[in-house]
A and B are shown apart, each in its own frame.
Chain A
Amino acid sequence: MDFLLNDEQRKLQQTIADFARREIAPVAESLDRDGTFPTALFRRVGDLGVMALPFAEEWGGLGLGTFDTALAIEEIARADQSLAVSVMVSIASGLTLQRFGTAAQKQQFLPDIVAGRKICAIAGTEPDAGSDTAGFKTRATRTNAGWAINGQKAYITNGGTEITSFALVLVITSDRDAERKTFSLFLVPAGTPGFTPGERYRKMGWHSSDTRPLYFADCRLGDEMVVGEVGHGRHLLHKGYQQARVFLAASSLGLAQACLDHSVAYAKERQAFGGPLGRLQMVQDMVARISVRVDAARLLTYKAAWLADQGRATLKDLATAKYYATEIGSECADLAVQVHGGWGFMDDCPVSRYYRDNRICTIGDGSSQIQKLIIARELGLDVRF
């Protein structure tokens, strides 16, 4: 067993960490305040090569794995989880297209995503159904020339930035009176008539990540915009999301590490009762608890990512990493706010942002409840959703 990164991985990690520390961390607070998607900064992340990491060389990618990508996402999240999430959603959606899309779809859409010139989204959730994917209502019906989509998606990351290229949208394609609802995944290019991103939501966190409802009103698409086979959409979406679970775990891990970085620094610097805060045992206790959680989350996340690259990650491995890392992200942020006292409650204190940002991580991409159900089911219990 080898717990050390190889030379190339260390170099990759260090390069992204340097970039994140110098270019992202200093603007993270103002991005949180302004709440607009940082197109120029995102493109610089693309120039660095981050978006290219896990994609095939054919599309301009570097042909690396889930593990290397998770390392990169962790370092970006350590500076700004909101940006890390925009990055990871575009990577995960792009990978779904790489895996299941047609050659023509890939040729047209992947190179811009891989280079970080454009960004993409994946849309499952609807106003009336999220975890319960069978409850989705958006529907594509047959027309003479292809399909017409009607309905609405909710809370979609990267849905309407100025560089959004497309969204992969899950819709019902079975007949209304069919016995079983079946779904298909459509590639909907930005600007398609009948496809309108709504206003940005006001959110608790992830302020500079672009989250919108997507509206479909007689949105016409040809057969060539179906990703994978008609009727297999839910399966594709689940497969696509599985890898995203490791990436979201890495996003929370980076944030938890940042909670530790800030708490240690603050405990050394802030003076109270005649010495640094860090001399007080109850503060030491909080810092140690953050540290243990960060280490444990890192082991689970790296293991899941590594297993995924070996083709050996089970649903339980992925669920365990996603569940644990996102939960401790919130615990660490809570502890870090406590270490920072009143300053930690201020919006412009980094740990206050972490506290708000991480809150969605235990909800999105399969909530903690759903992850635990998966774990219990994989352990052989009789689980019903």
Chain B
Amino acid sequence: MKVLVPVKRVVDYNVKVRVRSDGTGVETAGVKMSMNPFDEIAVEEAIRLKEKGVVSEIIAVSLGVAACAETIRTALAMGADRGILVETDAELQPLAVAKLLRALAEREQPRLMILGKQAIDDDMNATGQMLAALLGWSQGTFASKITIDGDTATVTREVDGGLETVALTMPAIITTDLRLNEPRYASLPNIMKARKKPIETVRPADLGVDPAPRLKTLRVVEPPKRQAGAKVASVAELVAKLRTEAKVI
């Protein structure tokens, strides 16, 4: 069984992001970029399925600027078999990504696609769902456990009230939650071997997709600075303030 795993290049989770002075987005120049952590979990899950003998080939896909090839290399070093880079300098929004992935799915015919539930840069939480709708495939989002048996993927989902288990008929789209697994480190020997694994580059036009943005960002601003705290003299005063000022009780 073939699995396709999209991996997004995002600002590293350790970086304190700064809003660009013109308010059009966050500063990415000279900032450390890494694979979206939820996508790392997706790659790890695909590798574990391969180690169990359920999966035969893992294709890592990244969409965006040429440097996204580095993110694909990371996936290859972890254990993916080959990569596809959909290269474009255009801004990519979830709908465009979903359309591009649909085109790739039609070409590659995977039985399963595992995506991060969201990317930590724009927190959209949309691509997996849009892709499932476009393809007409089943979907299991926010997965914290995946088992595959024949043509059925059983997915435990983390929902507000607890855990929900769904059975999906494949082909299917699964999006990962944080507790699904703990991704491995790519070892240095595997990083070196990954250099020899193939990465194919295609452009959106090759896939017949117009990636032009459909959403317009009006303004990006810094979150408000945290206010200084205040000391209270007694529990009574605390309760009063929680009631009258904070209005939480």
**A contacts, CB < 8 Å to B:** 7-8, 11-12, 15-16, 18-19, 21, 47-50, 52-53, 62
Roughly how many angstroms separate A53 CA and B188 CA in the complex, as a whole number? 8
16 A-B interface contacts by CB (under 8 A): A7-B70, A8-B192, A8-B195, A11-B70, A11-B77, A15-B185, A15-B186, A15-B188, A16-B188, A18-B185, A48-B187, A49-B188, A49-B189, A62-B188, A62-B189, A62-B192
Closest to B73 in A: A11
Tell me which residues across on chain A come within 8 A of B187, comparing CB atoms. Answer: 47-49
Roughly how many angstroms separate A82 CA and B185 CA in the complex, as a whole number? 22
Q: How distant is A1 from chain B, measured CB to nearest CB, in Å? A: 22
Q: How distant is A158 from chain B, measured CB to nearest CB, in Å? A: 21
> Pick the contact of B189 from A16, A19, A21, A52 — CB < 8 Å?
A52
Roughly how many angstroms separate A8 CA and B195 CA in the complex, as a whole number? 9
Closest to A11 in B: B191
Contact between B185 and A12, CB atoms less than 8 A apart: no
Per-residue CB proximity of B191-211 to A under 8 Å, as 1/0? Answer: 110010000000000000000
Contact between B185 and A19, CB atoms less than 8 A apart: yes
Tell me which residues across on chain A come within 8 A of B191, comparing CB atoms. Answer: 8, 11-12, 15, 49
Tell me which residues across on chain A come within 8 A of B73, comparing CB atoms. Answer: 11
Roughly how many angstroms separate A204 CA and B188 CA in the complex, as a whole number? 33
Contact between B188 and A52, CB atoms less than 8 A apart: yes
> Pick the contact of A48 from B14, B70, B185, B195 — CB < 8 Å?
B185
Roughly how many angstroms separate A21 CA and B70 CA in the complex, as a whole number? 21
Q: How distant is A78 from chain B, measured CB to nearest CB, in Å? A: 14
Q: How many A-B residue pairs have CB under 8 A?
A: 34
Tell me which residues across on chain B come within 8 A of A53, comparing CB atoms. Answer: 188
Instruction: Identify 19 new A-B residue pairs, CB closer than 8 A, beyond the known A8-B192, A21-B14, A49-B190.
Output: A7-B70, A8-B191, A11-B73, A11-B77, A11-B191, A12-B191, A15-B185, A15-B188, A15-B191, A18-B185, A19-B185, A48-B185, A48-B188, A49-B189, A50-B188, A52-B188, A52-B189, A53-B188, A62-B189
Q: How distant is B94 from chain A, measured CB to nearest CB, in Å? A: 28
Most buried by A among B14, B186, B188: B188
Most buried by B among A7, A18, A19, A49: A49
Closest to B74 in A: A11
Roughly how many angstroms separate A48 CA and B14 CA in the complex, as a whole number? 21
Most buried by A among B14, B70, B190, B191: B191
Q: How distant is A22 from chain B, measured CB to nearest CB, in Å? A: 9
Q: How distant is B226 from chain A, measured CB to nearest CB, in Å? A: 14
Roughly how many angstroms separate A16 CA and B195 CA in the complex, as a whole number? 18
Tell me which residues across on chain A come within 8 A of B77, comparing CB atoms. Answer: 11
Q: How distant is A5 from chain B, measured CB to nearest CB, in Å? A: 13
Tell me which residues across on chain B come within 8 A of A21, comparing CB atoms. Answer: 14
Interchain residue pairs A-B with the least CB separation, the first 6: A49-B188, A49-B187, A49-B189, A48-B187, A11-B191, A19-B185
Tell me which residues across on chain B come within 8 A of A52, comparing CB atoms. Answer: 188-189
Roughly how many angstroms separate A62 CA and B195 CA in the complex, as a whole number? 14
Roughly how many angstroms separate A15 CA and B195 CA in the complex, as a whole number? 15
Closest to A12 in B: B188
Tell me which residues across on chain B come within 8 A of A15, comparing CB atoms. Answer: 185-186, 188, 191
Closest to B186 in A: A15
Tell me which residues across on chain A come within 8 A of B195, comparing CB atoms. Answer: 8
Q: How distant is A367 from chain B, measured CB to nearest CB, in Å? A: 33
Q: How distant is B10 from chain A, measured CB to nearest CB, in Å? A: 15
Tell me which residues across on chain B come within 8 A of A11, comparing CB atoms. Answer: 70, 73, 77, 191
- Residues of B54-99 contacting chain A, CB below 8 A: 70, 73, 77
Closest to B187 in A: A49
